[in-house]
A and B are shown apart, each in its own frame.
Chain A
Amino acid sequence: MSLLEVDDLAIHFGGVKAVDGISFAVEPGEVFAIIGPNGAGKSTIFNLISRIYEPTRGRIRFDGQDITRLRAHDIARLGIARTFQNIELFDHSTVLANLLMGRHSHRATNVVQDILFLPKVRREERAHRRKVEEVIEFLELEAYRGKMIAGLPYGVRKVVEIGRALAIGPRLILLDEPASGLSVEETQDMAFWIEDMRREMGLTVLMVEHDMSLVTQVCDRVLAVANGRPLALGTPAEVQGHPDVQAAYLGTERAS
């Protein structure tokens, strides 16, 4: 059974059909990419899956469960984590606090217990910290643990955001342009981490990406979209060779 099934998804902003009839299914353990030119509706698809936007029509199913009508804050508990195109970290907190925030969907204490800081709260905090330390080790963030986000370089922030998503302990992770703004070396690291997420953590990865070298390197299957409509679905090589995709995405000069 597919882990994530998107069926005939559409959202219209006024008259603009940002996403219009997109369907795909992501299998467990797969690395799946959505590509397309700017404004094709890739990030909108992410925002629909993470329930920030209300779809005009269509269904989203996760692990057999219909999540189309769930609220945005219920998504994390199911095991879906995401990152954002423009990095949405908590700028005035430390890296550690940001990662601990990722554990929020697992919290087991209420506000009264928190204010009194009962022994249970401390136990929970230690457990969260252990999980977060695993993520820190995995992403090699040890040097930045106590640093404020606001002072960190862009590439590190990008990694911290992925760390925060991993701290959720997800089964599916949505990466919105993980390589944008990264140097060639950093993009290479990203490729290895995505590989490791799949192999070591058993994660399923759904990503939006412009960098075709990263896509061909790590992805099993690719969906190309343009103007909110699907163009082609297949292996990276198949999709890249598809004439419609070349026309819409890679530029007409190569198609001619």
Chain B
Amino acid sequence: MELLQLAVGGLANGCIYGLVALGFVMIYKASEGVNFAQGDMMMLGAFVALGLGNGDHLGLPFVLAVPLAMAVMFCVGWGVERVVVRRIFGQPQFALVILTIAMGFVFRFVAGAVFGYTPLVMETPYGGQNLNLGGVVIGYADLIAIAVTIVLTVALWAFFAFTRIGLAAQAASQNQLAAYIVGVPVMRVNSLIWGLSGAVATVAGVLYASRGAIDPNIGLLGIKAFAAAVIGGLGSLPGALLGGLIVGLVEPIAGRYAPGEVAQMSPYILMLVVLLTRPSGLISQVQMKKV
């Protein structure tokens, strides 16, 4: 029973990791770069939603505040690609890694300057309400997190698998020059993907915020989500979700049976094991260089 209770909380946590991991994977799929600011984009998205929705700020209704925040963060992601990322086109992969880490710090500074560093709670219609199923207590926030994540993952998967833009994004990631020559608007597709990942990060942020307080440092969760993305396979959307769920489940269970430090380490140990045994993740793509 206790284990089941842990599992439900873990699943909901895992969904949020999974959503942030989705953002990593989307950008990786489109440009083979890794956006280390994804966690901070989640943080920023949560704060934008909070600023729009909370009574002591703008006080918009929740159902209006969240889509608006998603739109704002879409523009932020899109703008970041247009203004910054595009300029380092063609530089080695790690340039983007360092650049996005630095951008994460900028986001954190902005959020801290506007909202301060004391934890804030977001007002949601379902906050604090629970469902009691035969001794297992499930928060509505947990249920919604799980449901939203599943819907979003399926939608994104369909986007990449079936729509023209999704396919174009995949083509662009494999050979930008070739994609450009056959008429894929590589640049525009990239901007779009960055925008989308901003919107997805906002959803993750809102789900996170509805389960607890937020402060500008919650972006560090991105590192854990990153471990999730790697466990699942950096190129695979279902893999990201799977990785997120695994991390979400392993953490509380490890914490139950071992010292807290071991629980903190567990996602990373798991990730190292996966990297060593299946370097391209559980759901992998073929990786090999042609000479």
Give me the interface of A with B, judged by CB distance under 8 Å: 43, 47, 52, 84-86, 88
Cα separation A43 to B291 with both chains bound (whole Å)? 8
Proximity string of chain B (248-291) to chain A, C-beta cutoff 8 Å, 1 when within and 0 when not = 00000000000000000000000000000000000000000001
Interface size, B (range):
under 10
When C-beta atoms are compared, the residue in chain B nearest to A46 turns out to be: B291
Cα separation A47 to B291 with both chains bound (whole Å)? 8
Q: Which residues of A contact B291 (CB under 8 A)?
A: 43, 47, 52, 84-86, 88
Cα separation A86 to B290 with both chains bound (whole Å)? 10
Nearest CB of chain B from residue A147's CB, rounded to whole Å: 23
When C-beta atoms are compared, the residue in chain B nearest to A176 turns out to be: B291
What is the count of residue pairs linking A and B with beta-carbon distances less than 8 angstroms? 7
Q: Which residues of B contact A85 (CB under 8 A)?
A: 291
Q: Which residues of B contact A86 (CB under 8 A)?
A: 291
What are 7 of the A-B contact pairs (CB < 8 Å)? A43-B291, A47-B291, A52-B291, A84-B291, A85-B291, A86-B291, A88-B291
Interface SS of A by simple majority: loop
When C-beta atoms are compared, the residue in chain B nearest to A85 turns out to be: B291
Cα separation A43 to B290 with both chains bound (whole Å)? 10
Cα separation A121 to B291 with both chains bound (whole Å)? 33
Kindly list the 6 A-B residue pairs having the minimum CB-CB distance in the complex, ordered from nearest: A84-B291, A47-B291, A52-B291, A88-B291, A86-B291, A85-B291
Cα separation A85 to B291 with both chains bound (whole Å)? 7
Cα separation A52 to B291 with both chains bound (whole Å)? 9
Q: Which residues of B contact A47 (CB under 8 A)?
A: 291
Q: Which residues of B contact A43 (CB under 8 A)?
A: 291
Q: Which residues of B contact A88 (CB under 8 A)?
A: 291
Nearest CB of chain A from residue B242's CB, rounded to whole Å: 24
Cα separation A47 to B288 with both chains bound (whole Å)? 13
Nearest CB of chain B from residue A111's CB, rounded to whole Å: 25
Nearest CB of chain A from residue B290's CB, rounded to whole Å: 9
Q: Which residues of B contact A84 (CB under 8 A)?
A: 291
Nearest CB of chain A from residue B90's CB, rounded to whole Å: 13
Cα separation A79 to B80 with both chains bound (whole Å)? 52
When C-beta atoms are compared, the residue in chain B nearest to A47 turns out to be: B291
Cα separation A213 to B291 with both chains bound (whole Å)? 25
Cα separation A35 to B269 with both chains bound (whole Å)? 50
Cα separation A36 to B289 with both chains bound (whole Å)? 22
Nearest CB of chain B from residue A86's CB, rounded to whole Å: 7
Nearest CB of chain A from residue B286's CB, rounded to whole Å: 9
Cα separation A173 to B291 with both chains bound (whole Å)? 17
Nearest CB of chain A from residue B167's CB, rounded to whole Å: 22
When C-beta atoms are compared, the residue in chain B nearest to A14 turns out to be: B286
Cα separation A47 to B290 with both chains bound (whole Å)? 10
Nearest CB of chain B from residue A223's CB, rounded to whole Å: 21
Cα separation A164 to B291 with both chains bound (whole Å)? 17
Q: Which residues of B contact A52 (CB under 8 A)?
A: 291
Cα separation A88 to B291 with both chains bound (whole Å)? 9
When C-beta atoms are compared, the residue in chain A nearest to B289 turns out to be: A52
Cα separation A129 to B291 with both chains bound (whole Å)? 29
Cα separation A88 to B289 with both chains bound (whole Å)? 12
Cα separation A169 to B291 with both chains bound (whole Å)? 23
Cα separation A43 to B289 with both chains bound (whole Å)? 13
Proximity string of chain B (218-253) to chain A, C-beta cutoff 8 Å, 1 when within and 0 when not = 000000000000000000000000000000000000
Cα separation A47 to B289 with both chains bound (whole Å)? 12
